[in-house]
Structure 1
Amino acid sequence: MHGVLARTRRANQLLAEVFIHHPLGLIPVGERRRLHVRDHHPNAARPGADPNLAELHQAGLRPGTSRSRFARAVVYPLTWRGIRSTAAGIAAGLRHSGAWHRAAAIGLVLGAAYLTGGWPALVCGVLTPRLLLYPQLAWLSLINEHTWFAPEPRTGSPAWVEAGRCLRLYPHNQFLARLAATTWLPYGDLHHYAHSAHPAVRWNYLPALERHLAQPHFTPDSLLIGRRSVIAHHHRALAVHAATGSSAPARTV
């Protein structure tokens, strides 16, 4: 989406379409680039402007939500609503221009899986990962990208601005940091702070780049468990919004 793998935009788009967007049934690269690069990056965590924040709100991460609804929103892709949303996204991708070769690519993947290992390969090797595992890993990665509901408004250099609305997970646990960095999707998204500050830098340079950036204002030790976890931070921020009845960013610690 950021055009840093090949020398030309056309080559980058071709690589992304052939190896990711077509076989996974994602929307065209051009549209995804618009949503991510043009709409998300300059407007991260800004209500009414960031499409990613709108996606979180739609899943149930909004002020006034109950604990049970908040918990369901954390695993939204695994719920029936989330599965329907994933299926609807695949169907939407097939309605764009070039739908026939997008459908052919999906059919080729499904057919190859079945010919390789029958129904077990089709269900366990393609359908379950695409409809459940990939969406949930990408969802956890999205939740961890920003202090979505409590950004700290700043002006100045890109790194200073992003330090106020990004976070750095596992700053004191190298094992968990490396595990998350190699298993979450999109790959390398654990380094979203560095990516947000310098979006044109290739993914494999982000760990080195992040070592030269100052710490963001929130450095949680865990994603799901504990008072200083990312999830607890989001829950407190939404509670502050609900208590104050304000749409302005909440400040939590």
Structure 2
Amino acid sequence: MQEISHFAVHGVLARTRRANQTLAEAFVHYPLGLMPAPERRRLHVRDHHPNAARPGADPNLAELHQAGLRPGASRARSRAVVYPLTWRGIRSTTAGIAASLRHCGSWHRAAAACAVPGAAYLTGGWPALVCGFLVPRLLLYPQLAWLSLINEHTWFAPEPRTGSPAWVEAGRCLRLYPHNQLLARLAAATWLPYGDLHHYAHSAHPAVRWNFLPALERHLTQPHFTPDSFLTGPRSVIAHHRRALAIQTTARPDTDTAASSV
């Protein structure tokens, strides 16, 4: 479902924008209570892709900052990996659903948001409602999407570059499990959909459909950061993010001093 929405807003699942929008809305945004597909397209395609990992410009980086992954917030960093499972994260998820249902003229979104849990209850009662809809929608899906987001870019230490899209993206993307096909395939089938596992190829060529990304990746040079681990080890994704945030934290006093002296 995540891939349907992602590549539909990129306009590569059908021939027309209207058809892509219909696919995204019908199969993902309506049943999950997500924001309208045009708004998702604006945030992701127009705002995120050209400005990936750029403070003040990338909405995804702002989302990471709000969860505690920012310089100086050392106590929150350990919880940030499971942010959607915290009370604050759950409140954020429910607030996002509520906001999507308040859009002008979106009674049909509210109807769909009620129909899906209603169908779950009619099918299997409270167990189906809780285990088949509420837990996956409020906890499982946000957590898997969050892990995918963390693994897309070197969010806090991108290499500023100019040049071709592939060269620019190689400095701000990462590729997890480049040397372990088993873990890569397991990740692609569970918590890192193709657009995230192969995010470097996707970022360099965002108009390429998901099923062509593995072949495209084989014809591109690797991004500069290719970790073999997500959580543990000195070259893991989390260790890289922590080091980058720690460096930014220690650099802030000097920056502030320099600014005040000017």
**Rounded Cα–Cα distance in structure 2 between residues aligned with 1:76 and 1:158:** 31
C-alpha displacement at 1:98, in angstroms? 3.4
C-alpha displacement at 1:186, in angstroms? 4.9
**Rounded Cα–Cα distance in structure 2 between residues aligned with 1:220 and 1:186:** 17
- 1:53 is aligned to 61
**Rounded Cα–Cα distance in structure 1 between residues aligned with 2:189 and 2:201:** 16
- 1:240 is aligned to 247
- 1:15 is aligned to 23
Q: Which runs of 5+ in 2 are unaligned?
A: 1-8, 257-262
Moved more, 98-107 or 167-176: 98-107
8 A contact 1:147–1:165 mirrored in 2: yes
8 A contact 2:36–2:100 mirrored in 1: yes
C-alpha displacement at 1:188, in angstroms? 3.8
8 A contact 2:188–2:194 mirrored in 1: yes
Partner SS for 1:226: coil
More helix by share: 2
- 1:4 is aligned to 12
**Rounded Cα–Cα distance in structure 2 between residues aligned with 1:70 and 1:219:** 22
Pair 1:103-2:110 in alignment: yes
8 A contact 1:182–1:188 mirrored in 2: no
- 1:43 is aligned to 51
Q: What's the TM-score, normalizing by structure 2?
A: 0.92
Pair 1:112-2:119 in alignment: yes
1:190 is aligned, of 178, 193, 197, to 197
- 2:212 is aligned to 205
**1:32-88 Cα shifts (integer Å, max 9, x gaps):** 10000000000000001000000000100001122x410111110000000000000
C-alpha displacement at 1:187, in angstroms? 5.1
- 2:6 is aligned to none
List structure 1 runs of 4+ shifted beyond 3 angstroms: 185-188
- 1:151 is aligned to 158
**1:92-123 Cα shifts (integer Å, max 9, x gaps):** 00011332110111111111111111111100
Moved more, 2-11 or 185-194: 185-194
- 1:220 is aligned to 227
**Rounded Cα–Cα distance in structure 1 between residues aligned with 2:144 and 2:168:** 27
**1:164-220 Cα shifts (integer Å, max 9, x gaps):** 000010011111100111112655421111110000000111111111110100000
8 A contact 1:134–1:185 mirrored in 2: no
Q: CA RMSD in A?
A: 1.2
Partner SS for 1:96: coil
**1:129-174 Cα shifts (integer Å, max 9, x gaps):** 0000000000000000000000001111101100000001001111
Number of residue pairs matched? 246
1:232–1:162: structure 2 CA closer, same or farther, 3 Å change rule? same
8 A contact 2:148–2:191 mirrored in 1: yes
8 A contact 2:187–2:193 mirrored in 1: no
Query: What percentage of residue pairs aligned between the two structures are identical?
Result: 84
Q: Which amino acid aligns with 1:106?
A: A
**Rounded Cα–Cα distance in structure 1 between residues aligned with 2:103 and 2:208:** 30
Q: What's the TM-score, normalizing by structure 1?
A: 0.95
- 2:260 is aligned to none
Q: Which amino acid aligns with 2:85?
A: L
- 2:134 is aligned to 127
**Rounded Cα–Cα distance in structure 1 between residues aligned with 2:218 and 2:200:** 11
- 1:251 is aligned to none
Partner SS for 2:42: helix
**Rounded Cα–Cα distance in structure 1 between residues aligned with 2:142 and 2:100:** 15
